[in-house]
Structure 1
Amino acid sequence: MRVELRQISKSFGAVRANDDVSLTLQAGSIHGLLGENGAGKSTLAGILSGLVRRDAGAVLLDGKPMEGGDPARALAAGVGMLHQEPHDFPELTVLESFAAARPGPFWFLGKRRREVRDRFFELRQRFGFTIHPEERVGRLSMGERQQLELLGLLSLGVRTLILDEPTTGISDEQRDALFGALKQLAKDGCSILLVSHKLPDVLALCDRVSILRQGKLVGEAELPITADRLVEMMFGSSAAARPEKPAGVAREKVAVRLERALVARGRLQLAMNDFTAHEGEIVGLAGLEGSGQALLLQLCAGLLPVKGDARLVVGDASLAGLPYRDFLRAGVSYVPADRAREGLIGGFTIEEHVALRAPAQGLFLRAKETLEAAERAIETFRIRGRPGTRAEQLSGGNQQRTQLALLPAQLKLLLMEHPTRGLDIESTQWVWQQLIARCKTGTAIVFASSDLDELLTYSDRVIVFSGGHASRPVRAAELSMDRLGRMIGGHLEEAS
């Protein structure tokens, strides 16, 4: 199906998210939509999928106008969106969740159940997926839930598919399966819009790309094309080299020590007999999601209790058994991966977040001082927003900038989950510039990431987790991509 977006404009208050954008998706092609965080990619995808009502412009499907602001009408017209976060039913089985998206009564019996099951197996076999129809959705991996949602959209007759950062949080095997499915769909005549900041994905999949910058369409190109050329188109010039951590930043003094710790969550149990990070050091935590690295971060942050004879010392403060506020006083901060739900408060503005961070001064806020502090934070951390912008209105990159702006100036220990997940190249480099600057003041940083290149580039030492077991720390300079990959796959003895 041929899709034309003509002179699309959309504003959220004073922010112009899309400004007179026009582009065409050809039937049988995969079209990449690129741009830095906050460039307007998600807004444009939302307009095409019916989730966002445009202010101006038109959407044409095979030459026929499509009404905006109605996802059900978009689906009926053959346009569906595969979101970054799954839209499914965790308590249902795979087959029940698949059926719930289809027209007709939800409580399928007799013939309807057989029809739904046959359709599920037909689509599953077509794309080589292996998800079991009787498995609970909540027990599936992120990649398997994505496969289920894709099958559900295809069962509804979707012929234009929008994907928003589809390879975030999935395995290489699931990525390959997804790419194979997308190529097959394009071969069958579907039009596909890939919203991504991952240039390798774009280079591997796309036939054409469009570049957005600050809401405007600034360029288009046919592929193949070099990654350097794409970066230049996205940012106006070649991106700056990755910030390098100066030699000698890590110091001899231990910033955090955790001994004899044992913690369990569900069926996962983690034992850390002796974990340390030094002042100015960056320790990377690698492993598949749910392997234990999040438990270590939360232990050190005071979000999980340190029990028994375990010992946790930050600087000179012994924190085992103490409440979370004592960790804050000791100079410990934690930045979660889920910025919107855990890191920031939905409905609160940037100014209100800054006010919460400010030390208490009686019962009343000093409005002028709070506003000035918010304006300074926006300027210093280059947040694309205003003091009155709500957290959920910010792009992922600007949410991360806001989280960093709220951190205390002096920290002994900074703990981070996926500090650059979902961020574009420029935002990623900017985040690491800020983190390396903190290392120079003596802050120890411990971060978990699924990006192996990020772990090898910025870590002084790396610890690999697999099924609740942790390797000994290995100097990043001694690791190759292949060796790190084997360790993540369970060969932790390679750390020896």
Structure 2
Amino acid sequence: MKVALRDIRKYFGQVKANDGISLVLESGQIYGLLGENGAGKSTLMKILSGYHQPDSGQIELDDKDVKFSSPAEALANGVGMIYQDPLDVPSMRAVENYLLGRDLRINLAYSAATSEMIENASQLGFKIDPQAFIDTLSIGERQQLELLRLLALGAEVLILDEPTTGISAEQKEGLFASIRKLAKESGKTVILVSHKLSEVQELCDHVLVLCKGKFVGEVDIPCSTERLVQMMFKEIPPRSSRVSYLREKNLLELSQVEFEGERLAVTGINLTVRAGEVFGLAGLEGSGQKLLLQACAGLIQPKRGKIILDGEDVTRFSYHQMRAASVAYLPAGRLEEGLVAGLSLIEHVALARPQKGFVVDWNYFERITQSQIDKYQIVGRPETLVHELSGGNQQRALFALLRSPLKLLLLEHPTRGLDVLSAQWIWQLLLNRVEEGSSILYYSADLDELVERSDRIAAFSGGVMSRIVTATETTADELGHLIGGEE
């Protein structure tokens, strides 16, 4: 399906998210959409998929003018999008979400739908339990489920926003092979929104680049990574050097800790994190890393074992007690667990820094919020609603809400959805905290990030912590084998 965007403009208050963008995308081609955080990529794709309506401009599908008032209407016209934060119903089972959008007049037996979902999932190399509730699935599994649903509904234009989060290298190869087949054999138009330039180079035929809400150019693949980076940032950012701030003192100790979630039990965890250490957790989504972070944050209670923080037994501490003990937890679900959709940045700052008394000093909080916006380079204003921010700016907002000082930071996917410069900038902020004495225990699906940023890394596979390795003595490839269950 041919897609044309004509002079698309979209404003959020005084922020120009899309400023007169015009693009033409041909059937059977795979396009990469690049740009720094806040460049307007997600907004443009949300307009194409019916989530937002443009303030002006026109959308054409196969040379016919169309207007979408909702994602359902866009999907009915053949345009489907997988968002960084999937649009699903957490209280429903996977197979029930898989059936969302079907014509209610068509009676598909539950067992038939389950079989259909399993078969389609196996073709893409996915393993999703049809009876699992959505709120027990990882972000990566939920993205996979949404892709299955869109394909089953006959989407002709597929928009994939960071689709490889939380899937293995083998699963990614299978997914990319399926996408190529959909484009080349079925004539589907595919748009990949990603900050992973290697994936764009591997999968795409063409690259479209946005900068500050404007379209700045199109490049055919293959081309040099340096050229793409230069188009995005106008200059090639220098690589940051890795510095270790390890102290001798042990800050966090886990001894024979066992805990369980809805679908996974994790046993026999023995782990020590030293003061000033950056400790990474590697593994496929749902392998136990999230549960470990939640146990350390006081969100779930261990069944047995001990958790010691700075010499104190915190095994039975609640989340609020862990916060009081100077522990912070940043989850992967930005709008589900970290931020509150519908509230503004200033309201989030007020919630994070409660005042005594009955009257809220909004002038004070406005100054604090503007200071954090400037410090963390958030593209928005104090009154901007957080769900209107790009994914990268939501991530910055989460970091802006962290207190200082902190003993321990527990992070899930700290740079998910961030461009190269933003990721380097976030890590510099984190390392500033580490230099001051904080420790970081984090999980990332980016194996290169784990190797580059960590002092040590624990590899998880199916609820088992198989090995702890020194980052300088391993590679992303070796980690990939470890999380796949190989020794």
For normalisation by structure 1, the TM-score amounts to: 0.88
Provide the C-alpha distance between the structure 2 equivalents of 1:473 and 1:133, rounded to a whole number of angstroms. 28
Structure 1 counterpart of 2:409, from 414, 427, 434? 414
Provide the C-alpha distance between the structure 2 equivalents of 1:425 and 1:169, rounded to a whole number of angstroms. 19
1:99/1:106 contact within 8 Å kept: no
2:138/2:285 contact within 8 Å kept: no
Q: Percent identity?
A: 46
Provide the C-alpha distance between the structure 2 equivalents of 1:133 and 1:483, rounded to a whole number of angstroms. 26
* Correspondence list, 1:62-461, <5 A: 62-86=62-86, 91=92, 94=95, 101-103=101-103, 105-108=105-108, 124=120, 128-129=123-124, 135-136=130-131, 138=133, 149-150=146-147, 152-187=149-184, 188-241=186-239, 243-247=240-244, 249-272=245-268, 274-306=270-302, 310-358=305-353, 360-461=355-456
Provide the C-alpha distance between the structure 1 equivalents of 2:382 and 2:476, rounded to a whole number of angstroms. 42
Deviation by residue 1:102-121 (Cα, 9 ceiling, x = unmatched): 43614237xx999x899x59
Q: Report which stretch shifted further, 232-241 or 163-172.
A: 163-172
How far off its partner does 1:326 sit?
Answer: 2.8
Gap change, CA 1:265 and 1:93, over 3 Å in 2: closer
* Greater Cα radius of gyration, structure 1 or 2: 1
Letter in structure 2 aligned against 1:351? I
Paired residues, number? 483
Provide the C-alpha distance between the structure 2 equivalents of 1:61 and 1:357, rounded to a whole number of angstroms. 45
Q: Report which stretch shifted further, 39-48 or 470-479.
A: 470-479
Gap change, CA 1:462 and 1:384, over 3 Å in 2: same
Deviation by residue 1:113-167 (Cα, 9 ceiling, x = unmatched): 99x899x59x959x94467999436588877765664454445443322222222
How far off its partner does 1:92 sit?
Answer: 5.6
* SS of match in other structure, 1:471: strand
What stretches of structure 2 of length at least 5 have no aligned partner? none
How far off its partner does 1:454 sit?
Answer: 0.7
Provide the C-alpha distance between the structure 2 equivalents of 1:313 and 1:463, rounded to a whole number of angstroms. 18
How far off its partner does 1:251 sit?
Answer: 0.6
Provide the C-alpha distance between the structure 2 equivalents of 1:414 and 1:349, rounded to a whole number of angstroms. 24
What stretches of structure 1 of length at least 5 have no aligned partner? none
Letter in structure 1 aligned against 2:241? E
* SS of match in other structure, 2:199: helix
How far off its partner does 1:24 sit?
Answer: 0.5
* SS of match in other structure, 2:340: coil
* SS of match in other structure, 2:177: helix
How far off its partner does 1:479 sit?
Answer: 1.2
